Homo-oligomer: A and B are copies of this chain.
């Protein structure tokens, strides 16, 4: 094992194994033309010197770096943080490295994206970026593979993986009706046309099929503070059951209900975040199945990077409902 010394290059390995540098490269790549004997000699030498190939040089030669650019908005949002973590893990399994770029940057978005591209990333994964249009344009211009995760607005010809918000809405409708709720509300997010809208649609449709309807709809930004204000407004309408577009909204609603001391409606959140499991909340919530979603996202990114002419791929991940205490009562 090398200590304190300079970088070990493939040349040193070749020297030690008394063989040419090309043979070292082929042996390590598993080229069948190399004989068993020499391959083992090479592997032994490489192990002895602690040789690790210089991936920058390899990237230059192969023009494929194994680096994936990941664009994310705000890591203070635990949902995004969790998604990023899973993404990085999945990428690790595929021997890819994430070059992460966070949206809230002082550097200026376009400038930062340029820099991302300069690193010759094999693909870009965008995870709910607010300046999404910049990312999309930058990738299309350079015809760089791009996968949107959980933020497909339908307009651009790019690959995307998302949760099936409509299906989730229907699941929730079924569940709440089975709890014998009668007066239903939807606590919408800021972006009434985006993901929040899909969820509302599925919820509304399924309720209609079951002979009910959404009686109240109120929307709020996705921040806790703003949500608390809207939550009080919501509570004045005295719904039996509220489907919230987000766990943050749901928690704000629970806190608001507690502080007023009135009757707490059945509450369902979305994202199944960490605090949904906390005993004080014990919140029934839609699980987006982030594990599968991230796996598919990485798979698609790899596929496009390998075969750039491939048509954009769009996948819907089926969500599931995690039932907890916040909907365990039945309305009498």
Contact = CB atoms under 8 A, between A and B. Distances in A.
B55 A120 contact: yes
B89 A102 contact: yes
B65 A76 contact: no
A53 B115 contact: no
A85 B99 contact: no
A95 B177 CA distance: 54
B143 A4 contact: yes
Contacts of A120: 54-56
A106 interface: yes
Interface stretch (A34-42, A206-214, A274-282): A274-282
B118 A53 contact: yes
Interface string A258-279: 1100000000000000110011
Interface in A82-114: 82, 84-85, 88-89, 92-93, 95, 97-102, 104-107, 112, 114
A99 B99 contact: yes
Interface residues of A, number: 59
A97 B97 contact: no
A275 B78 CA distance: 11
Q: How many copies does the complex hold?
A: 2
A92 B117 CA distance: 14
A228 interface: yes
A76 B274 contact: yes
B118 A52 contact: yes
A75 B81 contact: yes
A59 interface: yes
B101 A100 contact: no
Interface in A255-306: 255, 258-259, 274-275, 278-280
Interface in A17-62: 50, 52-57, 59-60
A103 to B, nearest CB: 9
A60 B56 contact: yes
B88 A228 contact: no
Nearest to A65: B56
A75 B72 CA distance: 13
Contacts of A67: 99, 119
A224 interface: yes
A92 B78 contact: no
A97 B116 contact: yes
B75 A104 contact: no
Contact of A118 (B54, B101, B116): B54
A279 B85 contact: no
A112 B100 contact: no
B118 A92 contact: no
14 contacts: A50-B141, A53-B118, A54-B118, A55-B120, A56-B59, A75-B82, A75-B84, A75-B85, A81-B81, A92-B106, A93-B106, A97-B119, A98-B99, A259-B279
A-B residue pairs, 4 tightest by C-beta: A81-B81, A75-B85, A92-B107, A75-B81
